[in-house]
Amino acid sequence: MPVLRILHLVGSAYNDFYCDLSRLYAQDCLTATAERSRYDFQIAYITPDLHWRFPASLSPEDIAVAKPMPLSDAIEFITAQNIDLMLPQMFCIPGMTHYRALFDLLKIPYIGNTPDIMAIAAHKARAKAIVEAAGVKVPRGELLRQGEVPTIPPPAVVKPVSSDNSLGVVLVKDITEYDAALKKAFEYADEVIVETFIELGREVRCGIIVKDGELVGLPLEEYLVDPHEKPIRNYADKLQQTDDGNLRLTAKDNIKAWIVDPNDPITQKVQQVAKKCHQALGCRHYSLFDFRIDPKGQPWFLEAGLYCSFAPKSVISSMAKAAGIPLNELFMTAIDETLATI
């Protein structure tokens, strides 16, 4: 088998938080998939100043000595490398859209969903509208801009329309709490969604992968929520900043999150709905969806998270492992699906 030249697209053109988050996942992926006989990895690292670097590794030392380049020089460098495949590792909106589109223009294939699908999924209201039209249940909601007043009676969830990791998400239990919740949510986006609160239940995430053109449902991941003590998940349930300023994943400790027994009757029901979401949104290679399960066992679509870093701690990787699919097999499956469509 010829060695594949794979470019890891890492960092963020938006802010330091997303830059660090991307580096965290990408470093784990590089370490875990480093089969040098099969892959020749290269790294493109983008920083919020819009410069590109091509470091030997993602260590601070290698990043520091890598020459910063403007976009025009970076494109010239990339096109000279004979890259076979790009792996997107950027989680900011520009990284998920503009930078993927750049590789479409360069005619370099990449794993994962296209910029238009990423843009739709990143806008929670648009994603909800599309899956609802396909017959998936979604919480009643409304999209607000600055100055507009919610009409949905509490309890309701207020969240920015385009932020991840539960940034700016607030559960409103009384109408007097709306002003503070909206103010917080508008710190992260120009538009805010107000949704009817779905009673617990459970909260799960479902991953779908494509193998030989077929949709495969993975074991569910369930999250620690409680109707009284923790009715919704927050930022601290997902990420934490360590004393040295680095980010740490907190939802990977088998306490705040765990894999659901595949024999649990909820698994098949959620997988069927997730496949419907995957098809409705036009996803490829893989997809990931969050659902709220009400007390009657009915799944309600919350949002789509259409990315996978192929790090061991990445959600789809964890789900695949629970299904008996090792990380390198998962990675190779995604590569095969990508190259098969060229």
Structural domains of the chain, with CATH: 4-110 (3.40.50.20), 119-136+199-340 (3.30.470.20), 141-196 (3.30.1490.20)
pLDDT in tens, 207-228: 999 999 999 999 999 998 877 6
Q: 8: closest CA among 78, 80, 105, 106?
A: 78
pLDDT in tens, 79-133: 999 999 999 999 999 999 999 999 999 999 999 999 999 999 999 999 999 999 9
pLDDT in tens, 263-322: 999 999 999 999 999 999 999 999 999 999 999 999 999 999 998 999 998 999 999 999
What does DSSP say about strands 39-46 and 4-11: parallel, antiparallel, or unpaired?
parallel
pLDDT in tens, 27-76: 999 999 986 678 999 999 999 999 999 999 999 999 999 999 999 999 99
Q: What is the pLDDT of residue 163?
A: 77
Q: 89: closest CA among 23, 33, 39, 31?
A: 23
Say which range, 68-72, 191-195, 248-252, 334-338, has the weakest mean pLDDT. 248-252
- Residue 229, C-beta contacts closer than 8 angstroms, at least 6 positions apart: none
